[in-house]
Amino acid sequence: MPYFTDLAYQHIDGEWVPGTGSWDIIDFNPYNGEKLCSITVATRDEVDQAYRAAERHQPAWAATNPYTRRLVFERAIRLIEDREQELTEAIIAELGGTRLKAAFELHLAKEFLRESMQLALRAKGQIVPSPVDGKENRVYRLPVGVVGVISPFNFPFLLSLKSVAPALALGNAVVLKPHQNTPICGGSLVARILEDAGLPKGLLNVVITDIAEIGDALLEHPVPKVISFTGSDTVGRHVATVAASHFKHAVLELGGNSALIVLDDADVDYAVDAAVFSRFVHQGQVCMAANRVIVDRSVEKEFTEKFVAKIKTLKVGDPQDPQTHIGPLINSSQADRVTSVVQQSIDAGATVLLRGETNGSLVSPTVLTDLPADAPALRTEIFGPVALIIPVDGEDEAVRVANDTPYGLSGAVHTADVDRGVAVAHRIETGMIHINDSTVADEPIVPFGGEKQSGLGRLNGEHFVESFTTTKWIAIQHGRSGFPF
């Protein structure tokens, strides 16, 4: 594919240049193991070059009329529409996403670009009253300057754009580091689309590298004022620590262990459909995925039989095939980790309702129930096609079990009584929760983020403004102040 030959470079100060590190990142197709490209990693010096380029070009961009800035994102939407087939093929090849998943990712990417067009006009100042006679308080909303963005492998094109586009729309410059497993979809393709859409040079710089080469240079560098990170809570904790020690604001969108609750009055067939999608979309490699399906015992037997039967109809295999529901995990190491979590849970006493096979990066669905309280699968973000069914007696126990996790990202409650569902939802310690729907959802203007170890801060809508701008108070004294000495 041309993308994997033409874009296997760093993008610094408007130029596509090779890295000068001592080793290469090899980009593989996770389904068939085909080598897509190799990219020489960026060094600490190239990270510095990227940040310095962003710093140089940002003031002129911030001074650009916001109506002009928004045209870049309008053109980017048209480019994605024009290149949708090529982008789909890249997503399938690089991260093993199915065609359905690629369509979902590209649709949301366009929605967030549309929101970025509006954000360009949303950094509004205020005139604030003063108790001092003759004083005028002006509060300006200004870009922070330069934002560092670190994106994950599961929805790389979307989740890079989700921070990059709003930060740019609000007048900032950006340095983006994509995940090393998805350097093209998460990095180079984003840069190419925005470059072709007319984004001035140097405002978006992409460094493809790894902590083994640069250490914490991306976080410690003096230029960026905000670090936007999406990934695991383990890495997120480190990002937060380093950022805080250098007085940088960190926006962290981290992992989850979401629960989908099926109450005794739920529409069981519909709840089954929602649970299967919530657990197995993109092979379960979604932070909002329903790891745990908590089912009232009065409907447990019916739900479980229908849930397992539906899962057996899912096709596992080549993501190029439009009929495939479950493609490969991102690599064989992740497949081995998921398989290990399953085996540990079985060894601890879990009952197997469906046992999937592992073949390289392909992992077929597994369903477990009767897990002991200390089973590893209950406490971790599995990030694979493994569902856990947990029977409970009533909504109080459902709430207790749902909250028995260090995470708090998403969730869902299924019930015939919407008010009952809302009451239960209020009791779940999570940043987002859905009544009679999937646990997997994102919309450009609603607050996206989690509680507990699922992150810090929120993204989307006005929260982009809060995250990527700062305020400045300028007071004007009309007339003369009186001073006590």
Catalytic residues: 253, 287
d(CA 292, CA 366): 13
CB under 8 Å to 398, separation ≥6 — which residues?
261, 263, 294, 296, 392, 424
d(CA 285, CA 335): 11
DSSP track, 167-235: HHHTT-EEEEE--TT-TIIIIIHHHHHHHHTTPPTTSEEE----HHHHTTHHHH-SS-SEEEEES-HHH
Say if residue 313 is exposed, middle or buried (CB neighbours under 10 Å; 0-12, 13-18, 19+). exposed
d(CA 410, CA 257): 8
| Alpha carbons within 13 A on the beta-carbon side of 266 | 32
Tokens 């990417």 locate to 109
Closest CA to 80 of 114, 125, 32: 114
Rounded to the nearest angstrom, the gap between the alpha carbon of residue 309 and the centroid of all alpha carbons in its chain is 31
DSSP track, 107-133: HHHHHHHHHHHHHTT----EEE--SST
Residue 255 gets the label, from left (phi > 0), alpha (psi -120 to 50) or beta, of beta
Q: For residue 253, what are its two tokens?
A: 């969108």
d(CA 326, CA 192): 29
Q: Are strands 455-456 and 249-253 parallel, antiparallel or unpaired?
A: antiparallel
440, amino acid identity: V
d(CA 139, CA 470): 10
